[in-house]
Amino acid sequence: MERLIVIGGVAAGLSAASAAKKLKKDSMDVTVFEKTGYVSYGACSEPYYISGIVPNPDDLIEVTPEDLEKKRKMHVFRRHEVVKVEYDKGMLDVLDIDRGVVSTHPFDYLVITTGAIAKRLGVKGEGMNGICTLRTVEDATKIKASASSAEQVAICGGGYIGLEMAEAFRHMGKEVTVLKKTAQMLMNFDPKMSSIVEEEVRSKGVKIITGVDILSFEGDNRVQQVITSEGAIPAQTVLISKGAVPNTSLALSFGVKTGKTGAIEVDLHQKTNLDRVYAAGDCAEAHHLILDGPAYIPLGTTANKTGRVAGENIGGLDTGFWGIVGTGVSKIFDLEVARTGLSLDEAQKNGLDAYATTITHGSRSGHYPGGSPLYVHLVTQSGTRKLLGAQIVGREGAALRINTLAAALHAGMSVDDLYHLDMGYAPPFAPVWDAVLIAANKARKG
């Protein structure tokens, strides 16, 4: 019997474990070690659990540990942390967190899916009660408990998770302040598109302070205020939401190579530089199809797919993860906020000569009630008129429309190709000239 050990039991880890076990049902023993108390959870829904829209933390679980054991026939250990890997011996040490006991386990194959770690600010008082980051279900439970007894909440960071959390805290009836070092929210968006989102967030009663430095936190046993370059902001709960870095320390400790993004370098099959060692999800790089190089864009979509590819290859198939174009969607209060590919700034920073086009068009036919404006922003390569990126913001139809543009990027389409797409039309769903076609028509004129 071959032995596969998977380190980390969330999106990438369980995708890898399930795919390998399915293919080698009788010839592979699959074990997953997860250091938190939860496996197979949807981190993407944590803001909805905190707000109360999703009632229980257990609702975030996709497949229960019992079903993983009974139906998928794998061994799953929660609150077990892999603390050491002896690659040459094919052995690893696991700490049973509750019992404080370390055990040693042999492996033939290893999949590293240790995810990412939330960035911290590194300022005085950051360890105080009430100051949180959000990655795991346990983090979410802690934030929910803290915010329940807070009147005021501060969020340090204005990325998509910070803004989803601003909505969650407003849903809980809290006074919310978002503090952002730069002048713009959603840094990977065009400034005009970002300002539409900012206006929406402000209109829901959230205070936004941009261009601010966070200097320290003050309080007694619990945080009471954030000291900033713009003065003191009262808050009894603070969420630090500055993005995440790949969790690679264990991998590095036994010789796994990281790439220029700082995440684990993998090939088409999610294989690392070490034989029989694979990596997937938020701890690994992914190939960016437009930049034709490695990128670090940690998302659940990629984690599930790359985990599956790792498991399939361990299971004996020859499958590959072709790459990403950086598609992400988010609900921020009543707005759908979506992007794919490169922003103009990203294109230019990567040496691409590009221009941007922005249009506003209705989400439904003008005569059909209930429509609202869609803002479509395209980034086009000068000369070739190849589509490089797109963003859409609106109250309806933005999130799923971006998938057409993601498909166009995968296909390497120009804005002329895009303009000629045979897109569907009926008055309740779109005008006869869809906003995407209107934007493509403007973009092809340069």
- Which residues are annotated as catalytic? 44
CA atoms within 13 A on the CB side of 354: 26
3-class DSSP assignment, residue 69 = helix
Of residues 92-131, which lie at the interface with ligand FAD (CB under 6 A)? 113-116
Of residues 190-249, which lie at the interface with ligand FAD (CB under 6 A)? 247
- What residue spans of 172-261 are helical by DSSP H? 191-203, 249-253
Q: Which stretch binds ligand FAD (CB under 6 A): 36-44, 193-201, 268-276, 384-392?
A: 36-44
3-class DSSP assignment, residue 253 = helix
Of 8, 326, 362, 394, the residue at the interface with ligand FAD (CB under 6 A) is 8
3-class DSSP assignment, residue 294 = strand
Q: Is 301 in the site for ligand FAD (CB under 6 A)?
A: yes
Q: Which stretch binds ligand FAD (CB under 6 A): 64-72, 221-229, 270-278, 293-301?
A: 293-301
228 neighbors 155 (Cβ within 8 angstroms): no
Of 16, 19, 24, 33, the residue at the interface with ligand FAD (CB under 6 A) is 33
Q: What b-and-e string marks burial along 353-392, b requiring 16 or more CB atoms within 10 Å of the CB? A: ebbbbebebbbbbeeeeebeebbbbbbbbeeebbbbbbbb
**Per-residue binding letters, 128-167, with ligand FAD (x by CB under 6 A):** ------xxx------------------------x------
Q: Is 82 in the site for ligand FAD (CB under 6 A)?
A: yes
In the complex, minimum distance from the CB of residue 137 to ligand FAD, in angstroms, rounded to a whole number: 9
Measured from the CB atom, the residue of 132 and 214 that comes closer to ligand FAD is: 132
**Per-residue binding letters, 243-282, with ligand FAD (x by CB under 6 A):** ----x--x------------------------------xx
Q: What b-and-e string marks burial along 125-148, b requiring 16 or more CB atoms within 10 Å of the CB? A: bbebebbbbbbbbebbbbbbebbe
Measured from the CB atom, the residue of 216 and 301 that comes closer to ligand FAD is: 301
Closest CA to 325 of 419, 440, 408, 243: 408
Q: Which stretch binds ligand FAD (CB under 6 A): 32-40, 190-198, 376-384, 390-398?
A: 32-40
Q: Which stretch binds ligand FAD (CB under 6 A): 42-50, 150-158, 206-214, 336-344?
A: 42-50
Q: Is 34 in the site for ligand FAD (CB under 6 A)?
A: yes
CA atoms within 13 A on the CB side of 318: 0
Measured from the CB atom, the residue of 6 and 439 that comes closer to ligand FAD is: 6
Please report the sign of the dihedral spanned by the C-alpha atoms of residue 87, residue 89, residue 90, residue 92: negative
Measured from the CB atom, the residue of 236 and 247 that comes closer to ligand FAD is: 247
Closest CA to 177 of 159, 202, 196: 202
**Under 8 Å CB-to-CB from 35, ≥6 apart: which residues?**
79, 80, 81, 82, 97
In the complex, minimum distance from the CB of residue 143 to ligand FAD, in angstroms, rounded to a whole number: 10
Measured from the CB atom, the residue of 11 and 156 that comes closer to ligand FAD is: 11
In the complex, minimum distance from the CB of residue 306 to ligand FAD, in angstroms, rounded to a whole number: 8
> What burial class does residue 203 get, using C-beta atoms within 10 Å of its C-beta: 0-12 exposed, 13-18 middle, 19+ buried?
exposed
In the complex, minimum distance from the CB of residue 282 to ligand FAD, in angstroms, rounded to a whole number: 4
> Which strand ranges, in their side-by-side order, compose the sheet holding 354-362?
328-332, 335-341, 387-394, 373-381, 354-362
The rounded distance, in Å, linking the Cα atoms of 10 and 39 is: 5
Q: Which stretch binds ligand FAD (CB under 6 A): 4-12, 188-196, 256-264, 266-274?
A: 4-12
Q: Which residues bind ligand FAD (CB under 6 A)?
A: 7-8, 10-13, 33-36, 43-44, 46-47, 81-82, 113-116, 134-136, 161, 247, 250, 281-282, 298-301, 303
